[in-house]
Structure 1
Amino acid sequence: MAEIRVEKVTLDKLDVLQKLSIDTFRETFGYDNTEEELQQFFDDSYTLEQLEKDVTDAESDVRFVLVDGREVGFMKVNWGAAQTEHELENAFEIQRIYILSECQSLGLGKKLFELALDMAKKGGFDWAWLGVWEDNVKAQGFYRKYGFEKFSEHSFEVGDKVDTDWLMRKALKE
């Protein structure tokens, strides 16, 4: 049986995070974007400088999931000023969870998602929220199973292409 671990991304692993970010985004959204759009997105979001900011931000947490010692996915969560939107008070954003396609049947995305929800609850936040592409019906269904509901929308740019993301939230306190 494979050994599965989750660990914080450290500065000496930024190159691994960059490659994994690009590879998983391309696997997930490459079919719907041109190479130019993808490259522009990578140049904006996945430079080593931007990833260093993400990893060192006191209001973000970036973690790898490893299978038998190999980084195969990651998550990025934010709170406070690090969030990409500020529509909810005392909120915790699950910004990114990506797993290499070859490992997507191992339950790793679910593991990271549940870890993120646990972090939000232990952190005393009122809301957990995330953005999901309006056409990603499978992911929307997954989030609904955890009690998330659509509450808003925002634009998500990949190069010059603008998509619509649903913003979904879950109350963490009764």
Structure 2
Amino acid sequence: MTPVIWRRADPSDAPALSLLGGATFLASFAHDHPGDALIAHIGKAHGLDYYQAALADPEQHVIIGETALGAPVGYALLTPPNLPVDPEPDDYELKRIYLLGPWQSGGHGHALMEMALEAARERGAKRLLLAVYPQNDKARRFYARQGFEQIGRMTFMVGDVPFEDMVYARKM
């Protein structure tokens, strides 16, 4: 497998993150999300403006993984928590963690999660939260191996279509 070079993203990475975010979301959910809703969601939640704002916000932390040739293959986005659970004072949220399919093995997901956990610890987080689609069995198994447990449920809008997600947490 091609090695991945992980680093903290900077403002120049916004175009790559927008493409990668849209591609990974589409690859993950095209099988059971309506096309129009999926396209609307990707346009809004993975647009260039979204990633420019995230990279400019000191409260957010973005990690990007690239091949040696500079092609983006994975990323993680951490933010202050915005999930419908009782927050603890030192919570942080892993809002997104995605790898392109060919890089979803060989320890790349574990390496990205370790970097995300370290970023959360550096911010003083005592608990990391995330939301996951219940039908995404592969992701749910990965999170369980990483020590996450379900603590709630929420509605996640994709365009104008509601989906139910599970909220997970992991003590640091």
Please confirm whether the aligned pair reaches a TM-score higher than 0.5, indicating the same fold: yes
Which one-letter code corresponds to 1:101 in the other structure? G
C-alpha contact 2:148 2:168 (8 A) present in aligned 1: yes
Cα drift, residue 52 of structure 1: 0.8
C-alpha contact 1:72 1:100 (8 A) present in aligned 2: yes
C-alpha contact 1:65 1:108 (8 A) present in aligned 2: no
C-alpha contact 1:88 1:127 (8 A) present in aligned 2: no
Identity of paired residues, percent? Answer: 27
Q: Deviations over 1:41-100 (max 9, x none)?
A: 022212211211111111111121112232111110113xxx222632210111111111
Q: What CA distance in whole angstroms lies between the structure 2 residues aligned with 1:116 and 1:8? A: 10
Counterpart of 1:129 in structure 2 is: 129
* Regions of 4+ moved over 6 Å: none
RMSD of the TM alignment (CA)?
1.7
Cα drift, residue 2 of structure 1: 3.8
Counterpart of 1:72 in structure 2 is: 73
Cα drift, residue 109 of structure 1: 1.8
Q: How many residues align?
A: 169
Which one-letter code corresponds to 1:91 in the other structure? D
C-alpha contact 2:25 2:42 (8 A) present in aligned 1: no
C-alpha contact 1:78 1:92 (8 A) present in aligned 2: yes
Which one-letter code corresponds to 1:31 in the other structure? H
User: Is 1:165 aligned with 2:165?
Assistant: yes
C-alpha contact 2:61 2:119 (8 A) present in aligned 1: no
Which one-letter code corresponds to 1:88 in the other structure? P
Superposition TM-score, scaled by structure 1 size = 0.88
Match of 2:82 among 64, 81, 84: 84
SS for the counterpart of 2:31 is helix
Cα drift, residue 137 of structure 1: 2.5
C-alpha contact 2:63 2:116 (8 A) present in aligned 1: no
Q: Deviations over 1:101-133 (max 9, x none)?
A: 122223222211111112223332221111111
Q: What CA distance in whole angstroms lies between the structure 1 residues aligned with 2:121 and 2:19? A: 31
Superposition TM-score, scaled by structure 2 size = 0.89
Structure 2 vs 1, CA of residues 102 and 146 (structure 1 numbering), >3 Å: closer, same or farther?
closer
C-alpha contact 2:127 2:171 (8 A) present in aligned 1: yes
SS for the counterpart of 1:125 is coil
Contiguous gaps of at least 5 residues in structure 2:
none
SS for the counterpart of 1:31 is coil
Cα drift, residue 36 of structure 1: 0.7
Which one-letter code corresponds to 2:75 in the other structure? F
Q: What CA distance in whole angstroms lies between the structure 2 residues aligned with 1:157 and 1:165? A: 10
Q: What CA distance in whole angstroms lies between the structure 1 residues aligned with 2:101 and 2:2? A: 17
